[in-house]
A and B are shown apart, each in its own frame.
Chain A
Amino acid sequence: MLIDSFDEMNGRPGSAEVRPPYASLRKWLDDTSAETFDARRDQAEHFFRRVGITFAVYGDNESSERLIPFDVIPRVLMKSEWDFLERGLKQRVTALNAFLADIYGPQECLRAGIVPSDLIFQNPQYRLEMKDVAVPHNIYVHIAGVDVVRVGENDFYVLEDNARTPSGVSYMLENREVMMRLFPELFMSHRVAPVENYPDALLATLRSVAPIRQSRDAVVTLLTPGRYNSAYYEHSFLADKLGVELVEASDLFVKDDVVYMRTTQGPTQVDVIYRRIDDDFIDPLAFRPDSVLGVPGLINAYKAGNVTLANAIGTGISDDKAVYTYMPDIVRFFTGQEPLLQNVPTWRCREPDSLSYVLDNLGELVVKEVAGSGGYGMLVGPHATKAEIEDFARKIRHSPEGFIAQPTLSLSTCPTFAASGVAPRHVDLRPFVLSGSDEIRIVPGGLTRVALKEGSLVVNSSQGGGTKDTWVLDGGS
């Protein structure tokens, strides 16, 4: 089924009109020969393979290191569009942090009835260990990857607030790098806002949230589950760009509530840990006892205020799919403003009226599992077979509280290379929002993910999605 959606280049699909930000890109597409594009795409693939940008696909032993397909046609935003997005993102992330500080502190939003308290208390992502723990500088989500989709010229929706350990920023950086290598002339004719300062911004953010102590530069490390993790490339890439040690759990130990790393010169105290390990696995003495990826005693050191974890423990409650549905009210309550970015209208299956509506209209809805991520526990109604719909209906009836449903959004499309030539494909956008004790930093753009299959709305790399370079055109018409 083809959905009539906004096209980033043409406005309406198939229209001959070309939107201003794409004007000279259109010409470039027309003027460049197919052979040149083929050659450049080969070079891009070669580049990604040589630098080792790969990701692991779970349960896929054969090709445990795979490339995410890269599409050479950039996705373009005008400066004015970006400025609006940036304001909306800052507002949203400010609200997320205030919300977390509140539910782990005074819980005013629960008393005010903004969010039902059972939704918080019964959610395993609400970490009881964190209640009344003072996190350094009162910031919880230092790095957020907010998934935004566009459905019209001026309509941007937030699909998900990834507030745990969002990934993908290395692709944002490497996509730009490869584009600049392959098409230097494009960057002469377009004034594209740079993204290469992201590592600097990240490091400044991390340093700004170190526990307050005297006369020593904060020691920052990046904690990875290890080289078998699907995002390991990104972890090592970022550590390298930040100039900080990439540590595994075995490199760290805790003594007297202080975290140290083992170095060739003996133990060195660690102040800030940019951790890319989930809460559940980060400390076997506090959370899952079977975790071999964690640092025993880390949570005690954290609660003693001797180390900053970025992101904080327990941020998963704020990007929970059930809590998501309350985000507009959360933004209003904590910022006193109307939300700039919209929330996708959502039916909560835990509410009986919504449940019956959802079950009656499965064919038109996107149904998501509240606990799921990565596009696995998901039904895209218009693209599902009858059997798939029936199967999902059974799951929903079985535990309605585990599901939410949303209308099938017509994600915008962007010209993309397909087997048949250049064709529109659906895209989303993940900008990365950095919250420090001093300011909120966002580099212009983010990671554009593209569903490479015709008509597909699932952009996840684990489900065959690709990526594009994302341009914010400075001074564009």
Chain B
Amino acid sequence: MLARTADSLYWVFRYTERADFVARTLDATVRLASLPQAYLGKGNEWESAVASASDLDLFKTLYATANEDTVRDFLAFNPQNPSSIRNCLQTARENARSVRTALTFEMWEALNGAWLELKSFDTNMNREEFSRFLDWVKRVVLVFDGAAYRSMLRNDAYWFSRLGSAVERADNTARILDVKYHLLLPESEWVGGSLDYFQWTTILREVSAVTAYHWVYRQSVKPWLIADLLILNRQMPRSLANCYEILVRHLDLIAEFYGRRGPSQRLASATLNRLSSERIERIFGNGLHEFVEDFITTNNKLGAAIAEQYLN
């Protein structure tokens, strides 16, 4: 297939994934912020939402303070924020339009329909309307993903789209960990006590894993288990390990189909091997923050390797 087509498909899936992530971040943050002050920690939950879902420096050039209004505007609608939900959907749709023939009708209809519908939302919403808006965004991505899953041929086009989703997911999960790692460190258990419970469940909510957590661990919420779930648990669809399982599988399919392996296959399987042999205790022992930062760098390297090998 055309390198440009693969590139656009890859980015369509990165941007739709990102839109979903930003929506979930906003949803979880609205919930957290609606708790009585006594249940909240010292930090600014709005600022931390911006830090994990977008670019805090950019935010600060556009707004004086981080509060519900400004962060909602920035993350959901602001055209100057390349990762605002609006821009994610627009960029995804623009990419889709430029490779219209690589998409099935159902996928195009889902994205194009969403883009047309997005224009009909009044950005001046109350909390209830905003929450319905976020639900709508999540539904759009579900429909789009489902359309891809149900209607695409299982060929390189499909595999590149899976790569886009998985690289983006891994990045998103790692970003949450990067911003909130301090909440998961052992000392905070003693310092914050039950206070942090709501921060922890917010993290789980951001990756849609509140229920999953209980099914997997069958015990009350513990910060190191949250880290374990997000980093190492292969059953958890947004964990780093699961994302890399998907990356390795689809990169292998591509390599087999094209009859040639390259740097991206080597990088992805090295990272998966590392995640498979890790223990959460050892990660905490060596420093959670260092681990996450290192992972983000590695993940970016993989993105660059995929681009170099296939998309240019």
Known contacts A49-B116, A50-B113; decide if A263 and B100 are in contact (CB<8 Å): no
Q: Which residue of B lies closest to A247 (CB)?
A: B2
Known contacts A52-B108, A236-B101, A245-B2; decide if A264 and B113 are in contact (CB<8 Å): no
Contact yes or no, A262 B3, CB < 8 A: yes
Contact yes or no, A52 B1, CB < 8 A: no
Interface positions, chain B 85-99, Cβ under 8 Å from A, are: 94, 97-99
* B221 interfacial by beta-carbon distance below 8 Å: no
Compute how far the CA of A231 lies from the CA of B169 in the bound complex, rounded to whole angstroms.
36
* B4 interfacial by beta-carbon distance below 8 Å: yes
Q: Which residue of A lies closest to B311 (CB)?
A: A264
* B269 interfacial by beta-carbon distance below 8 Å: no
* A451 interfacial by beta-carbon distance below 8 Å: no
Which A residues lie within 8 Å of B312 (CB)?
262
Which B residues lie within 8 Å of A232 (CB)?
97
Q: Which residue of A lies closest to B94 (CB)?
A: A227
Which A residues lie within 8 Å of B254 (CB)?
264
* B295 interfacial by beta-carbon distance below 8 Å: no
Q: Which residue of B lies closest to A65 (CB)?
A: B97
Compute how far the CA of A236 lies from the CA of B103 in the bound complex, rounded to whole angstroms.
11
* B109 interfacial by beta-carbon distance below 8 Å: yes
Compute how far the CA of A237 lies from the CA of B101 in the bound complex, rounded to whole angstroms.
7
Instruction: Render A368-390 as a binary contact track against B, CB cut-off 8 A, 1 for contact.
Output: 00000000000000000000000
* B15 interfacial by beta-carbon distance below 8 Å: no
Most buried by A among B3, B160, B310: B3
Compute how far the CA of A411 lies from the CA of B291 in the bound complex, rounded to whole angstroms.
75
Compute how far the CA of A251 lies from the CA of B109 in the bound complex, rounded to whole angstroms.
26
Compute how far the CA of A25 lies from the CA of B254 in the bound complex, rounded to whole angstroms.
54
Compute how far the CA of A263 lies from the CA of B5 in the bound complex, rounded to whole angstroms.
9
Compute how far the CA of A264 lies from the CA of B311 in the bound complex, rounded to whole angstroms.
6
Contact yes or no, B2 A236, CB < 8 A: no
Contact yes or no, B6 A264, CB < 8 A: yes
Which B residues lie within 8 Å of A226 (CB)?
98
Contact yes or no, A265 B258, CB < 8 A: yes
Which A residues lie within 8 Å of B156 (CB)?
264
Does more than half of chain B's interface fall in helix, strand or loop, or is it mixed?
A: helix
Q: Which residue of B lies closest to A50 (CB)?
A: B109
Contact yes or no, A227 B2, CB < 8 A: no
Instruction: Render A35-64 as a binary contact track against B, CB cut-off 8 A, 1 for contact.
Output: 000000000000001111000000000000
Compute how far the CA of A247 lies from the CA of B105 in the bound complex, rounded to whole angstroms.
19
Which B residues lie within 8 Å of A240 (CB)?
100-101
Known contacts A51-B109, A264-B310; decide if A239 and B4 are in contact (CB<8 Å): no
* B271 interfacial by beta-carbon distance below 8 Å: no
Known contacts A264-B160, A264-B258, A264-B310; decide if A52 and B100 are in contact (CB<8 Å): yes
Which B residues lie within 8 Å of A265 (CB)?
258, 260
Size category, A interface: 20 to 34
Interface positions, chain B 64-114, Cβ under 8 Å from A, are: 94, 97-101, 105, 108-109, 112-113
Which A residues lie within 8 Å of B105 (CB)?
51
Contact yes or no, A52 B311, CB < 8 A: no
Q: Which residue of B lies closest to A242 (CB)?
A: B101
Contact partner of B112 among A50, A237, A261, A264, CB < 8 A?
A50
* A250 interfacial by beta-carbon distance below 8 Å: yes
Contact partner of A239 among B1, B101, B112, CB < 8 A?
B101
Nearest CB of chain B from residue A71's CB, rounded to whole Å: 23
Contact yes or no, A236 B311, CB < 8 A: no
Contact yes or no, B1 A263, CB < 8 A: yes
Contact yes or no, A251 B2, CB < 8 A: yes
* A459 interfacial by beta-carbon distance below 8 Å: no
Which A residues lie within 8 Å of B310 (CB)?
264
* A428 interfacial by beta-carbon distance below 8 Å: no
Contact yes or no, A52 B4, CB < 8 A: no
Compute how far the CA of A85 lies from the CA of B46 in the bound complex, rounded to whole angstroms.
70
Which B residues lie within 8 Å of A233 (CB)?
100
Contact yes or no, B109 A236, CB < 8 A: no
Compute how far the CA of A237 lies from the CA of B100 in the bound complex, rounded to whole angstroms.
8
Known contacts A51-B109, A52-B112; decide if A263 and B2 are in contact (CB<8 Å): yes
Q: Which residue of A lies closest to B113 (CB)?
A: A50
Which B residues lie within 8 Å of A227 (CB)?
94, 97-98
* A73 interfacial by beta-carbon distance below 8 Å: no
Nearest CB of chain A from residue B6's CB, rounded to whole Å: 5
Nearest CB of chain B from residue A181's CB, rounded to whole Å: 13
Instruction: Render A258-279 as a binary contact track against B, CB cut-off 8 A, 1 for contact.
Output: 0001111100000000000000
Compute how far the CA of A371 lies from the CA of B94 in the bound complex, rounded to whole angstroms.
34
In order of increasing CB-CB distance, the 10 nearest A-B pairs are: A236-B100, A240-B101, A264-B310, A262-B3, A264-B6, A239-B101, A227-B98, A265-B258, A246-B101, A236-B101
B residues lining the A interface (CB < 8 Å): 1-6, 94, 97-101, 105, 108-109, 112-113, 116, 156, 160, 254, 258, 260, 310-312
Given contacts A50-B109, A52-B108, 10 further A-B contacts (CB under 8 A): A49-B116, A50-B113, A52-B97, A52-B112, A236-B100, A240-B100, A245-B2, A262-B4, A264-B156, A264-B258
A residues lining the B interface (CB < 8 Å): 49-52, 226-227, 232-233, 236-237, 239-240, 245-248, 250-251, 261-265
